[in-house]
Chains A and B, each alone.
Chain A
Amino acid sequence: MREEIIVSGRMNAMVDPNLHIWHWQIPLYLFLGGMAAGILCIAALYFIRGRENDYRTAVRITPFLTPVLLVLGLLALLIDLRHKLYFWQLYTNIRLQSPMSWGAWTLMVITPVSFIWCALHIRDLFPNWDWKYNWLKAIETFFNKYKKALAWVMLIYGLILGIYTGILLSAFNARPLWNTSILGPLFLASGLSAGAAATLIMSKNKEERKQFARIDLVIIGIELFLIVHMFMGFLASTQVQIDAARLFLGGPYTTIFWVFVIMLGLLLPAILEILELRKYHIPAIIPAIMVIFGSLMLRFVIVYAGQASRWLY
């Protein structure tokens, strides 16, 4: 039998024998950012379409999660940086070819926007809220006047944030598993479904819950469709991408991917939501938590497996 033995003298930490430069911080951030993007997109979309009163939780309450999610995500990103004191270099440069630069600037816009959106709805949580200072009241009046424009900014930057979390990985052709443009839409869909699930948990309105169970179902369908296409693309591509797909088809990531992402994260919540819509009594919180958990696992599995996938030469 023909054999090829490659012995390398290189043993650089975090690069050899397998790349492991990105740890829990990156997938956690991709999840938090994706979920925040999902919540903000849904809120902006329903506000722009004038359905604020039908889907009150989604537009006015769930967005209160996003500043927390984004700040935690940014913190995870900062922890990941190895040269932390130079982080400001991100904001003295605009690099159009670098997805990470796009992400840094997008976060610079969407994070304050999420805070402003919450500030505009603070009286939904605390009816007697008073801003105390006149200049704060002036800011509130200003943004209330241009709320529709703010919603458009939120929608567009939310979409960019949701897609970029996937593009960030797919821009690396050195890691064949990541090098598929499907990751952009897949991570956006996964973020939207986690965002819909958050409203499903927080809403007390039966009609709203029903609508968001339906939205979640549709997005789960889209996700499954994208995942099938991802594998079709890999298996019809070059050897390195076939090897990348095999990480999930018998390789070391098979169980964790099919059990936690596909079964527990997509199929089971879909079945529970269908049963719920068919009037079986199932607490909405169960499928919603599973969807959010599946969305987190998807990021972890893709980020870790991607670093195990490489070119051989």
Chain B
Amino acid sequence: MRYAMAVDTKKCVGCSDCVVACQTENNVPIGYCRDWVVEVTDGTYPQLEMEIRSERCNHCANAPCVRCCPTGASHIVEGGIVLVTPTECIGCGACIASCPYDARYPHPKGYVDKCTFCEHRIKNGMSPSCVEVCPTKCLYFGDLDDPNSNVSNVLRLRKYKTLIPEAGTDPQLFFLI
């Protein structure tokens, strides 16, 4: 099993519903976020191009945060999801410094927090809360090893990219372009 997410940058309007849904679902402390929206404007006026991306942890197959964690609090579970165990985390910040996507943040309670792909929901057959609420249905989630999953289907049909593949992290968040 290999969970992954695809984000359709052509359909995303940048409404930030995914951000609010995540904050509500996961009790993210005020002022922090586990997912966020990036708008990239490129070109010379009036020939401008815009890309909107809903970003979060890339749940890398070669995760630097898991490698550098001195206690094993950062770990990979079934399906390739990168998680943090708060009671094993000492809050040293090594994983935060090691993430090229800056997807982690120090929780005010001391441990490090990040996107979990809503592991508690997908265990019960639901999709992550960001995927669930997206009004333009631009987020696709599923198992890459299953050729009939949402994410496998859309990646077969569309062109896509990953973020900083040259960092060698083997990210599992795909952006349809």
Contacts and interface: CB of A to CB of B under 8 A. Distances in A.
B98 A10 contact: no
B177 interface: no
Interface in B74-100: 86-94, 96-100
A9 B164 contact: no
A174 B167 contact: yes
A90 B16 CA distance: 38
A130 interface: no
Contacts of B160: none
Contacts of A15: 96, 102, 104-105
B53 to A, nearest CB: 9
A174 B67 CA distance: 13
Contacts of A16: 102
B163 interface: yes
Interface residues of A, number: 48
B52 to A, nearest CB: 10
A174 B41 contact: no
The interface size bin for chain B is 35 or more
Nearest to B43: A2
Contact of B167 (A1, A6, A83, A311): A311
A1 B69 CA distance: 43
B67 A98 contact: yes
B71 A90 contact: yes
A54 B89 CA distance: 48
A100 interface: yes
A98 B69 contact: yes
A170 to B, nearest CB: 11
Interface in B45-90: 55, 64, 67-73, 86-90
* Interface secondary structure of A, over-half rule: loop
Contacts of B166: 238
Given A13-B106, A95-B69, A100-B92, A311 B100 contact: yes
Contact of A2 (B32, B37, B44, B64): B44
Interface string A215-239: 0000000000000000000000010
A204 to B, nearest CB: 42
Contacts of B110: 82-84, 86
Given A86-B71, A90-B90, A172-B64, 4 more contacts: A15-B104, A86-B111, A97-B67, A97-B68
16 contacts: A10-B36, A19-B96, A21-B106, A22-B97, A86-B90, A86-B110, A97-B67, A98-B68, A98-B69, A173-B64, A173-B100, A174-B98, A174-B102, A238-B166, A311-B167, A313-B163
Interface of A: 1-16, 19, 21-22, 80-84, 86-87, 89-90, 92-93, 95, 97-101, 103-104, 171-175, 238, 307, 310-311, 313
